[in-house]
Structure 1
């Protein structure tokens, strides 16, 4: 007995220090940030009746400081997640899911890119980022009880820049390539024909348990990775005065997650240095990514060019070298430590990351047991000058100046739809598409041989090679994540034959694009009422994946309850408007078929299996197969619970949802930030309206602005944007001055 006691004490003497070490090592191990000598920043934050912050300052840097403070007041939790990712420490917060992003942070050399490129940015751009970092630091210092992770602060401008280097490539589908390569699953390419030996379908990872599911949802809303990345979308509309019957109109209708690191945050900025802009950003940015100033505005939609090339390397026996042009080169290898939170402790997990002259390299075991290596090269690799380009776009005053910034090819991807007070409208299929040599024989849509240097491109194509429309004869432009060759109507659209196939421009439509093209082409005048009806349209065309699904239902043999459900769907009016007995079941059925087409999966879902699954769900939770869709699809935040309409790919977008315990679908991704701007034809001041799904203070349940926009959002209504200072002050609910002065 004494021996057991002594043994227990000895074991405790070992385990207790080990536990303490695992619980405390990570902050001490973390990279220490050096903060440059601080200047004094002073900004005024005025919040309007909806809590939207309007930040004023003498200099642009003063305003950027205020942007950080205002955003932290509303959503410091998400900002910390983004900063942790920017430092490769997200696994210490979000566990295994977070560590996946930390691995990618090292794989893509986000920090190295920032270290090399940030010092080369113009001084005023760096000043903006240093001021933003200073605002985050001051808030963290004054609210230490909210800080999630030791030694996360202070941060500097380079830290913020590293976050840009990490996140941007995932908006054009890099996650759909990295995820299967890392996990050893079959590789799926986003575009083009099937690649021999690499079927496209990837089974989604299913976290176990409620807490794991919540962490996974949180992690995947910070960075678009894997299957979720393929569902990013948006609608955008621009209408010239001659077609609107009045003003020049720009409608921004982005579809992003409603929460997290790629959810929109609305604010306005104004400085005495000429920066005056209203719009929205993602957490971790000192400036808006879309919106308008006095002179012009723009919005974005995700485009899907072939921005990524994969090279299969020829490796030596121990995978320490690869062959290039007949010579062996050492594979660059770096060992990194990934922090992985497991309950109260953080485990240090060692992983190797590799690089070749092509770019990041992923090694995995092949079918014969030997190591195989794949190198990745993507548009915009090694660049962060988008930080400067977005800042300059914010301050542009003319179409020429605006296009001059885009022509730098600094912003790696996304369509730009533009309008201005002069009555100009424009569309640019913006993408830093790799400048692939056309005089070599290669299948750029397949896996390329990695032992040929002539297949390693350098930099993007020229701006003049991109699809681009300015002031089309139709008087309107739209995009809904469709190909750029259906953008302005018959007689105004671009000819796809005029663009090289090596560019890898997608040739796809969405249901939203089919509906928008049809409705806008049919409209004699696109006045406000007509355009609102188009933007909130809830109908489907029986084309594409919708036709595939309904053809399958017509050929489906079923009996009993399944036959009843099939017949209910066959009688549907193809409108997700909460006005029909089939709407709820159709909403559930369409989602996976839309996803399969959008992500280029190899096979369609089985219509019979899907029908049985969704019938069972409706029967279990509603006791019937035809409940009103408004009882199924909900907008939920705090104690607010509102009915919604629209579908996964309707212009009124309710794209994805979380299935709650009561069987309801709580929207997590769809119509997010909407802004409607108009420049009057008589030259008067720009005016705009906007809406967010919840409110400005997304993660502050005690704030009156946690849910105060929900009623308007659900009712498809917009609130006024207070762009002009006198309007802001007339509707102010709070005013404060923030500074880092002692």
Structure 2
């Protein structure tokens, strides 16, 4: 029987879940799939909902899911080849697999239930549909609870908190040779001399592998024959977000509004999965990162929250002075803890070789770089707080502000600003995280490499919840965050940075995107859901609004014909990155050239007394003229004209899809964040930025609009241009939240019954 015929049936029977020794379920549950590939999961118990969530993720992202779990095991090179050696070494050096096993043992009963049933759903789907999973990924099966928590650590603690790019910083600090990061030069992975404590080959071990495919309206089809996995990239991954919460005093209908808007790369471990979960005390809609067993960002009938990447330092580097086989410590010499490990590497002929290496740990944490008589160790916060999933469950179940605060007080999530709104009209901005309690220094000092020879710099505790910066129900009626420090959560500022430790966050500052965010959210005295959606898609370049008038004036006062031609185009430009806007392509070319040629681009710095109007202007007239002329020549050579439409240069591309894009990334101050990479034809294609967007109104009934830019599946046969087309049109789609809405609009239904 074909898969299409199987899934068309109203009921799918499955065998009891013996792999995890779980009890048979006594009742039915169902998944109703909507036209955008979003699973609406219904069950009576938490076990049923968790099982169905695992089944749904495997159906939508099975091959990606298994590959991520393989990397979290630190065995990806064994499964798929040498291009994963850096990734495996990063995982092993940081102790992720061992810690995941410990976390499973420490999980409370409900937390363990969620993880085990989620895993069982994944395994059951793979068992029933092996033809729909990439053959190269089946080696991971069966998935285990340890895989889930190892993946959670790799994503949260060792990508967001402690980016693998820290290895490059550590190597530069001591003059060590940096590895290639891509795994192509095997010399970068040679076994280190245990006497020298070398840990080479760790440079930039992030993996951004197979590209995502925008998602699913139809049932899956079997995958095409597998190809060799793409090598990891050493390029940094931009990570950011926007978020708003607006109180009833600032809305037309007297209902609180929430804007959820994470910006992540559109692939790999940053891929969001959109779902609706009903049962086991949960009635919530939102997204999880693929591989997570419950929703991460969500709303329910009473409240909701957004996460943004905060200016949080939970990972510190320490320089060690090597002496007598150990390192200097508090006036003496302390021995390293050295463990011998080995990475197995699959060869092209199918054989497997072993690459032994030492995992070297100091009192601070693992050594991640070494050169001569110096080494650098990494210390990461939150590794002793194993209950992220329990906290997320408590957040999902919360029905009031007080209950939500109780969930946050658990402090199991190691980072992320939380922006919150609820049906009672409460709003909040919380600088959340496992913030180390430090003895000295300011934030900038802790961003560098610290002395590793003294316990004075070794933190051992975190701040309690009540000491974290927060703004609750400000008189302004709004809070926002666009990845700036917490002090400008609302304006006028409700927080005084001087009343907090200098190391908790950077001093007040407001780059152009946060300024755009604050200007937009405060621009409406009576905001509506529809107006919030419109403002969310603003592509106005805040930077351009501050400098174009100066650039035009300076160019027209010069005798440079090319600079004057550029000035004419910029003078007529509407200052946006809309697809049909003409002038933005030229401005970006100008700014990039100008910024490289001057130390201080503006005559004045950001002023906290004028937070939305500074900096302003251009500081170097000669550099402006030169950059404008060079930009004009470059754009003319590429396009044959200066007034190029934004969408002619910047594109939205996916299989069978090539559309004009809109939006831009930092530092241009565009709220509609879209980031691009150069393509083979010389254009730029969107690859990161607005990923999931949700606009939510908490009235008598929840109203919401949402979009997952790249769609909700990566499995072959599940691609649809629908959501990326909406992205190009600057539109969100209605969220199906009530039972009647889901029943009326579902395009496919799966019902599961135990036997």
Please give the range of the TM-score, normalised by the shorter of the 2 chains: 0.7 to 0.9
- Equivalent of residue 388 in structure 1, options 386, 390, 395: 390
2:281 and 2:596 map into 1 onto residues whose CA distance is: 44
Question: Structure 2: which 5+ residue stretches go unaligned?
Answer: 1-17, 186-205, 213-229, 599-618
What does 1:470-509 correspond to in 2, within 5 Å? Answer: 470-490=472-492, 493-505=494-506, 507-509=508-510
2:334 and 2:252 map into 1 onto residues whose CA distance is: 64
- Write the deviation string for residues 385-436 of structure 1: whole angstroms up to 9, x where unpaired: 2121112111111111111111222111111011111111111111211011
User: Does the residue aligned with 1:663 lie in a helix, a strand or coil?
Assistant: coil
1:355 and 1:220 map into 2 onto residues whose CA distance is: 35
Which residue number in structure 1 is paired with residue 250 of structure 2? 243
1:343 and 1:553 map into 2 onto residues whose CA distance is: 60
1:730 maps to 2:753: no
- Equivalent of residue 185 in structure 1, options 157, 162, 172: 172
- Tell me by how many angstroms 1:609 deviates: 11
1:437 and 1:657 map into 2 onto residues whose CA distance is: 41
* Distance 1:537-1:590 versus aligned 2 partners, 3 A rule: farther
1:595 and 1:90 map into 2 onto residues whose CA distance is: 40
- Equivalent of residue 686 in structure 1, options 702, 706, 723: 702
What does 1:704-719 correspond to in 2, within 5 Å? Answer: 706-719=720-733
- Write the deviation string for residues 585-644 of structure 1: whole angstroms up to 9, x where unpaired: 3345667999999xxxxxx9x999998997787566644444211122222222122212
Which residue number in structure 2 is paired with residue 17 of structure 1? none
1:607 and 1:351 map into 2 onto residues whose CA distance is: 53
User: Does the residue aligned with 1:228 lie in a helix, a strand or coil?
Assistant: coil
* Distance 1:393-1:590 versus aligned 2 partners, 3 A rule: farther
2:149 and 2:443 map into 1 onto residues whose CA distance is: 37
- Tell me by how many angstroms 1:57 deviates: 1.6
1:297 maps to 2:304: yes
- Root-mean-square deviation (CA, aligned residues, Å) is 4.0
What does 1:561-710 correspond to in 2, within 5 Å? Answer: 564=565, 568=569, 572-587=573-588, 622-649=639-666, 650-680=669-699, 684-700=700-716, 702-703=717-718, 706-710=720-724
* Distance 1:75-1:555 versus aligned 2 partners, 3 A rule: farther
What does 1:119-268 correspond to in 2, within 5 Å? Answer: 119-145=105-131, 146=133, 147-149=135-137, 151-170=139-158, 172=160, 174-175=162-163, 178-181=166-169, 184-186=171-173, 217-218=208-209, 228-229=236-237, 231-246=238-253, 247-268=255-276
Q: Given that residues 391 and 413 in structure 2 are in contact (C-alpha distance below 8 angstroms), is that contact kept between their aligned partners in structure 1? A: yes
Which residue number in structure 2 is paired with residue 337 of structure 1? 342
* Distance 1:228-1:169 versus aligned 2 partners, 3 A rule: same
* Distance 1:678-1:439 versus aligned 2 partners, 3 A rule: closer
- Equivalent of residue 734 in structure 2, options 720, 728, 733: 720
Question: Structure 1: which 5+ residue stretches go unaligned?
Answer: 1-33, 188-196, 210-214, 598-603
Q: Given that residues 171 and 224 in structure 1 are in contact (C-alpha distance below 8 angstroms), is that contact kept between their aligned partners in structure 2? A: no
Q: Given that residues 539 and 664 in structure 2 are in contact (C-alpha distance below 8 angstroms), is that contact kept between their aligned partners in structure 1? A: yes
Which residue number in structure 2 is paired with residue 321 of structure 1? 326
Which residue number in structure 1 is paired with residue 521 of structure 2? 520
- Tell me by how many angstroms 1:519 deviates: 3.1
Which residue number in structure 2 is paired with residue 30 of structure 1? none
* Distance 1:587-1:321 versus aligned 2 partners, 3 A rule: same
User: Does the residue aligned with 1:697 lie in a helix, a strand or coil?
Assistant: coil
Which residue number in structure 1 is paired with residue 195 of structure 2? none
2:597 and 2:706 map into 1 onto residues whose CA distance is: 32
* Distance 1:641-1:157 versus aligned 2 partners, 3 A rule: same
- Tell me by how many angstroms 1:734 deviates: 0.8
- Tell me by how many angstroms 1:475 deviates: 1.0
1:498 and 1:54 map into 2 onto residues whose CA distance is: 46
1:422 and 1:249 map into 2 onto residues whose CA distance is: 11
- Write the deviation string for residues 555-586 of structure 1: whole angstroms up to 9, x where unpaired: 99997768855775577553222454321233
Q: Given that residues 266 and 280 in structure 1 are in contact (C-alpha distance below 8 angstroms), is that contact kept between their aligned partners in structure 2? A: yes
- Equivalent of residue 61 in structure 1, options 17, 26, 47: 47
Q: Given that residues 409 and 460 in structure 1 are in contact (C-alpha distance below 8 angstroms), is that contact kept between their aligned partners in structure 2? A: no
2:295 and 2:407 map into 1 onto residues whose CA distance is: 15
- Tell me by how many angstroms 1:676 deviates: 1.2
Which residue number in structure 2 is paired with residue 106 of structure 1? 92
* Distance 1:529-1:299 versus aligned 2 partners, 3 A rule: same
* Distance 1:138-1:558 versus aligned 2 partners, 3 A rule: farther
User: Does the residue aligned with 1:51 lie in a helix, a strand or coil?
Assistant: coil
- Write the deviation string for residues 225-256 of structure 1: whole angstroms up to 9, x where unpaired: 97534x21111111111211212111111111
Which residue number in structure 1 is paired with residue 219 of structure 2? none
Q: Given that residues 92 and 340 in structure 1 are in contact (C-alpha distance below 8 angstroms), is that contact kept between their aligned partners in structure 2? A: yes
* Distance 1:150-1:698 versus aligned 2 partners, 3 A rule: closer
Q: Structure 1 stretch 291-300 or stretch 723-732: which is displaced more?
A: 723-732
* Distance 1:294-1:283 versus aligned 2 partners, 3 A rule: same
1:695 and 1:101 map into 2 onto residues whose CA distance is: 27
* Distance 1:495-1:224 versus aligned 2 partners, 3 A rule: farther
- Write the deviation string for residues 173-194 of structure 1: whole angstroms up to 9, x where unpaired: 5226533156x3358xxxxxxx
User: Does the residue aligned with 1:175 lie in a helix, a strand or coil?
Assistant: coil
What does 1:38-117 correspond to in 2, within 5 Å? Answer: 38-40=22-24, 43-92=29-78, 95=81, 98-117=84-103
User: Does the residue aligned with 1:151 lie in a helix, a strand or coil?
Assistant: helix
1:136 and 1:61 map into 2 onto residues whose CA distance is: 13
What's the TM-score once normalised by structure 2's chain length?
A: 0.79
* Distance 1:356-1:275 versus aligned 2 partners, 3 A rule: same
- Tell me by how many angstroms 1:504 deviates: 3.3
Which residue number in structure 1 is paired with residue 601 of structure 2? none
- Tell me by how many angstroms 1:500 deviates: 1.2
- Write the deviation string for residues 332-367 of structure 1: whole angstroms up to 9, x where unpaired: 2223333556655565433322211211212321xx
1:593 and 1:391 map into 2 onto residues whose CA distance is: 49
Q: Structure 1 stretch 440-449 or stretch 376-385: which is displaced more?
A: 440-449
- Write the deviation string for residues 82-117 of structure 1: whole angstroms up to 9, x where unpaired: 111221123356655533221111121111221222
User: Does the residue aligned with 1:512 lie in a helix, a strand or coil?
Assistant: helix
